[in-house]
């Protein structure tokens, strides 16, 4: 049993080292200039935040589908789902300063418009629930959920190149957490 804990610790440390290596490229303002606004006038960071939050929101949907199909996995999946919910919230665009228009933009209808839009993985493919999750056995569901975690982590990692430094750090942390979640889903205690 002690050997397994050491192996997990080493895997988590390796993930942390990989994240640190990715962050070193994100902390400098040197390099090519990044566009500050998208063609439609929306700040580029807001567009990136919406995409990242929608991707994490789609992953949250994967967890909900898995929990609905396999309530017996609730003890194992609930903490990971809660973390993904926090990630989606942290990645979302920050509401503008308080004021009458800020209240309107922070309303449920404004936030649901982002989550109601078609979600993509960042590579053009729709981010839907993992195929077969509802009909799959629990082990298959866990593997499919781990694949969704890895895919989401990959999308967040790819977005690092377009992110401003502070947001890049957040994306890297969320991507690292996704890699850990995938590990726990496939190799964690059962």
How confident is the model at residue 135, as a pLDDT?
Answer: 67
pTM reported for the whole predicted model: 0.64
Nearest alpha carbon to residue 159 among 62, 74, 34, 73: 34
Selection from 185, 173, 182, 121 nearest residue 149 by Cα? 182
- pLDDT score recorded for residue 16: 53
Which residues, 6 or more positions from 105, have their beta carbon under 8 angstroms from its beta carbon? 95, 96
**pLDDT averaged over consecutive 10-residue blocks of the chain (190 residues)?**
50 50 42 52 89 96 96 96 97 69 37 34 41 72 96 97 95 97 83
How many other β-carbons are positioned within 10 Å of the β-carbon of residue 41? 6
Retrieve residue 172's tokens.
Answer: 């890297």
pLDDT of residue 94: 82
Separation in Å, CA 146 to CA 37, 99, 151:
34, 41, 9
Work out the burial of residue 143: count CB atoms within 10 Å of its CB; fewer than 13 is exposed, 13-18 middle, 19 or more buried: middle
- Reduced to 3 states (helix: H, G, I; strand: E, B; else coil), residue 132 is coil
Q: Hey, what are 165's tokens?
A: 């430094």
Total residues found in the chain within this entry: 190
The β-bridge partners of 37 are: 43
Query: What local confidence, expressed as pLDDT, does residue 42 receive?
Result: 81
Q: Which tens digit of pLDDT belongs to each residue from 110-144?
A: 333 333 333 333 433 334 444 445 568 999 999 99
Q: Which two tokens stand for residue 120?
A: 């993509």
């Amino acid at each position: 049993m002690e050997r397994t804990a050491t192996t997990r610790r080493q895997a988590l440390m390796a993930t942390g080292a990989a994240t640190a290596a990715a962050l070193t490229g994100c902390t400098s303002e040197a390099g090519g200039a990044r566009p500050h606004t998208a063609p439609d006038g929306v700040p580029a960071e807001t567009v990136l935040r919406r995409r990242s939050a929608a991707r994490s929101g789609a992953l949250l949907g994967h967890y909900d589908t898995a929990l609905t199909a396999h309530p017996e996995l609730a003890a194992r999946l609930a903490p990971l789902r809660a973390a993904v919910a926090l990630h989606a919230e942290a990645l979302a665009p920050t509401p503008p300063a308080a004021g009458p228009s800020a209240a309107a933009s922070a309303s449920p209808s404004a936030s649901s418009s982002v989550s109601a839009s078609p979600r993509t993985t960042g590579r053009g493919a729709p981010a839907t629930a993992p195929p077969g999750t509802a009909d799959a056995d629990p082990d298959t569901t866990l593997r499919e959920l781990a694949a969704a975690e890895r895919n989401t982590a990959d999308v967040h990692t790819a977005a690092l190149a377009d992110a401003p430094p502070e947001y890049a750090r957040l994306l890297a942390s969320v991507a690292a957490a996704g890699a850990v979640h995938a590990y726990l889903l496939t190799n964690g205690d059962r």
